[in-house]
Structure 1
Amino acid sequence: MPEIDQPSPPHPHGFELPRLTAMLWHALPRFVEGVIAPVAVFYAAFALLGLNGALIAAVVWVYGGIGWRLARGHGVPGMLVLAALGVTVRAALAAVTGSPVVFFLQPTLGTLLVSMTFLASVPLRRPLAQKIATDMVPMPEAFLGHERVRRFFLRISLLWSLVFLVNAAVSLWMLFHESIGTYLWVRTGLVAVLGAAAVAVSVLGFRRCLRHVNGEAAPI
C-alpha cells in the first residue's frame, strides 16, 4: 500500500501569540481597578473630606476589593494582600505626619527600584521582561531558547527599565514641586501614556520576532 504522508510535527521553535484584543480585554479591568479607580477615589475624598478622609478612602478601596473577591468566592492573590498591608502602613504614617507626600513617596521609590531591577536583569542574561511574559503566556522552552527571542527580551527589559525610570523621576519632581491634585492626574496620565507606548512597542516587537522565528520553523 502506498504510504500516506503524515503532517510534519510542529517545529520546537514555533509559537503562536494570543490575539491582541483578547490580551487587552484581559488587562483593561486590572488597569482600571489598580490605576485609574484608586486615583479617582483618593482625589474625590481629598477634595471633599481632606487628607484623613482620602487616606481612609484609599484603605477602604483596597480592603473593599479583597472583600468583593471573597464574597464572589474568588481567591485573593498574595500580592493584593501585601498591597493592602502596604497601603495601611502608608496611610497611618501619612495621617501621623499630616503629609500626603509620605503616602505617595513609597510607591514612587518602588517604581525606581523596579526600573533598576529590569536594568540589572540584562547583564545577568535573565531578562525580567521574559519572566513576566511567561507568567502571563506560557511559552515552550525551545522557543525561549532561540537567539532572536533572547535578544528581544533583553532589549524589552531595557525599554521597561527606561519607562519606569522616567516615571519615577517625573513623579518625584512633581511630588515635591506640584500640588497633590496635579501630581495625581498628571502622573496617572503619564503612567497611562508611557505604559501604553511601551506595551505597543513590546507587542509589535514580539509579533515581529514571532514572524521571524515561526518563518524559520515553517516546513519547506
Structure 2
Amino acid sequence: MNRVPHPGFELPRLTALLRHALPRFVEGVIAPVAVFYAAFALLGLNGALVAAVTWVYGGIIWRYVRGHGVPAMLMLAALGVTVRAVLAAYTGSPVVYFLQPTLGTLMVSVAFLASVPLGRPLAQKMATDMVPMPEAFLRHERVRQFFLRISLLWSMVFLANAVFSLYMLLNESIGTFLWVRTSVVALLGAGAAAVSVLGFRRCLRHVNGEPSAAQSMT
C-alpha cells in the first residue's frame, strides 16, 4: 500500500524568527528614519537626502565587502531612494521624498486584497519566501483559508498605514511625521505580525493533529 504523507509542518521557534527579522527591521525601518532626521536637523534637507542615499549604498557596499549577496530588491530600493532624493532636492520639498513610499504602501494594500479573490494569497508567498513549506501542507484547506484571511488582514493594515501616513505628511511637520508615523506603523505591523504568528500556530495545531491518510486507512 502506498503511504500518503501527512501534510504536517513545524514552525521554527519564535526566538529564531525574531533573530532573523529584528536586525532587518532596525536596518530597514528604524535606522533610515534616525539617519534622515538627524541629518535634517543638523544639515537641512539636502544634507538629509545625501545621508539617506549614503545609508542605503553604504549597506550595499558593506554586504559586498563581507562577501554577502546583495538581493535584487535591495538594489531596486537603492535606485528608488536615489530617484526620490533627486526629485526632493530639485523641488526643495521633503514631502516629495516621502510621498512615493506612501503611495507604494497603498499599492501593496491593493495587491494583498486582489490576491484573495484570485486564490493566490500574497501572505502565503511572503511566508514561503521566509520559511520553506511542503506543498502538501500548503494545499491543506485549513492552511489555504488561513492565508486568505491573513492576506485580508495585511491589506487592511497597509491601507491604514497609507491613509495615516498621507494625513501626517500633508498636515504635520517632517519631524512629527517621521517619529509619530514610524511609531504607529511599527505598532500596526507588530500587532498584525502577532496575530499572524498566533493564528498560524493555531492552524498548525489543527493540521498536525489530524491523522494522516495512511493512519486513517488502518
Q: Same fold (TM over 0.5)?
A: yes
Q: Is contact 1:115-1:160 (8 Å) kept?
A: yes
RMSD of Structure 2 on Structure 1 (CA):
1.2
Query: What does 1:132-147 correspond to in 2, within 5 Å?
Result: 132-147=126-141
Tell me which amino acid in the other structure corresponds to 2:10: E
Does 2:100 correspond to 1:112?
A: no
Counterpart secondary structure, 2:210: helix
Deviation (angstroms), 1:13: 1.1
Tell me which amino acid in the other structure corresponds to 1:70: Y
Taking the aligned partners of 2:196 and 2:92, their CA distance within structure 1 comes to 41
Q: Equivalent residue for 1:5?
A: none
Deviation (angstroms), 1:20: 0.8
Once the two structures are superposed, residues 19-48 of structure 1 have per-residue CA deviations (whole angstroms, 9 ceiling, x without a partner) of 111001100000000000000000000000
Taking the aligned partners of 1:147 and 1:212, their CA distance within structure 2 comes to 11
Tell me which amino acid in the other structure corresponds to 2:20: H
Q: Equivalent residue for 2:67?
A: 73
Taking the aligned partners of 1:208 and 1:110, their CA distance within structure 2 comes to 32
Taking the aligned partners of 1:113 and 1:92, their CA distance within structure 2 comes to 22
Q: Equivalent residue for 1:42?
A: 36
Taking the aligned partners of 2:141 and 2:69, their CA distance within structure 1 comes to 38
Once the two structures are superposed, residues 162-195 of structure 1 have per-residue CA deviations (whole angstroms, 9 ceiling, x without a partner) of 0000000000000000000000001110111011
Tell me which amino acid in the other structure corresponds to 2:60: I
- Quick one: percent identity of the two aligned structures? 81
Paired positions, count? 212
**Of 164, 170, 173, which aligns to 1:176?**
170
**Of 51, 59, 71, which aligns to 1:57?**
51
Deviation (angstroms), 1:113: 0.2
Does 2:11 correspond to 1:17?
A: yes
Counterpart secondary structure, 1:217: coil
Query: What does 1:163-202 correspond to in 2, within 5 Å?
Result: 163-202=157-196
TM-score by length of structure 1 reads 0.94
Of the structure 1 ranges 12-21 and 111-120, higher mean CA displacement relative to structure 2 is found in 12-21
Q: Is contact 1:118-1:158 (8 Å) kept?
A: yes
**Of 153, 164, 167, which aligns to 2:147?**
153
TM-score by length of structure 2 reads 0.95
Once the two structures are superposed, residues 108-132 of structure 1 have per-residue CA deviations (whole angstroms, 9 ceiling, x without a partner) of 0000000000000000010000001
Consecutive unaligned residues in structure 1, runs of 5 or more:
1-8
Once the two structures are superposed, residues 68-124 of structure 1 have per-residue CA deviations (whole angstroms, 9 ceiling, x without a partner) of 011111111111111111111100000010000000000000000000000000000
Q: Is contact 1:41-1:58 (8 Å) kept?
A: yes
Taking the aligned partners of 2:6 and 2:129, their CA distance within structure 1 comes to 20
Taking the aligned partners of 1:36 and 1:83, their CA distance within structure 2 comes to 16
Taking the aligned partners of 1:173 and 1:192, their CA distance within structure 2 comes to 17
Q: Equivalent residue for 2:93?
A: 99
Deviation (angstroms), 1:10: 8.4
